[in-house]
Amino acid sequence: MRHFRFFPLILALSALATSCATFPSNKLTKLPAQPVQASKKVSLSYQMAGSTELLQGKPADMSAKQKGNAEMTFLSAAQNSGRFSSVSAVEKGDVKVNFHLLNHGNAALAMTSGFISGYTLMIVPGFGTDQYKLTASVRTSSGKSRNYELNDSATTVFWLPLIVVAPFKSPSTVIPKVHENMYRTLFSRMEADGLLPKSSN
């Protein structure tokens, strides 16, 4: 029976690993994911940078994995938007977007809250909020240009009762959707400012 004495610990660790859920703040209007009917498709080229604010409050470059995930989300949003004939980080397009994605927030508060929640085996809820700021500089081949700033966030909550919703609200699922909506919003505002052809929806 000795090999069963660690069973409660295994259950507790499993609960800790699966009792967090992420919720979008929806600061930006949620735009539909289906492609628009653009009057004319244009080629898009882009350059991306990203950074994450550390505990000491100084931003550092995103890791290669973080940047890769954010870039894949941008590519998906652009390719599925129905607005572009091609999307490339190499070729020069009809529209060029240079953008930077910053993840900032109160990291010290999130760490303290997470420690207290973990120490109580998720009985006391803990939370951490990722604040995202997207800044973009857009220029068309005809010389039109515009700068944009979009802000949104997502909060991850650590709490034992969330074990029932955690599989549907994981950070790896919710956060890309927040980013994707930010990119869709950027494209919509570019259209409103005449940097992209008008769409019928």
Q: What tens digit of pLDDT does each residue of 56-105 get?
A: 567 788 888 889 999 999 999 999 999 999 999 988 899 999 999 998 87
Provide the pLDDT for residue 15: 45
Q: Give the chain's end-to-end CA distance (angstroms, integer).
A: 66
Residue 185 and residue 191: Cα distance in Å, rounded? 10
* Domain assignment of residue 126, yes or no: yes
Q: For residue 189, what are its two tokens?
A: 């505002």
pLDDT (0 to 100) of residue 140: 96
Share of the chain above pLDDT 90, in %: 48
How many domains are contained in the chain?
Answer: 1
In a domain, 146, yes or no: yes
- In this prediction, residue 13 carries a pLDDT of 41
Q: 89: domain CATH number?
A: 3.30.160
For residue 119, what are the domain limits?
A: 14-29+42-192
Q: What's the rounded Cα separation, in Å, for the pair 186 and 195?
A: 11
Q: Of residues 74 and 5, which shows the higher confidence score?
A: 74
Residue 197 domain flag: no
Q: What is the mean pLDDT of residues 41-51?
A: 95
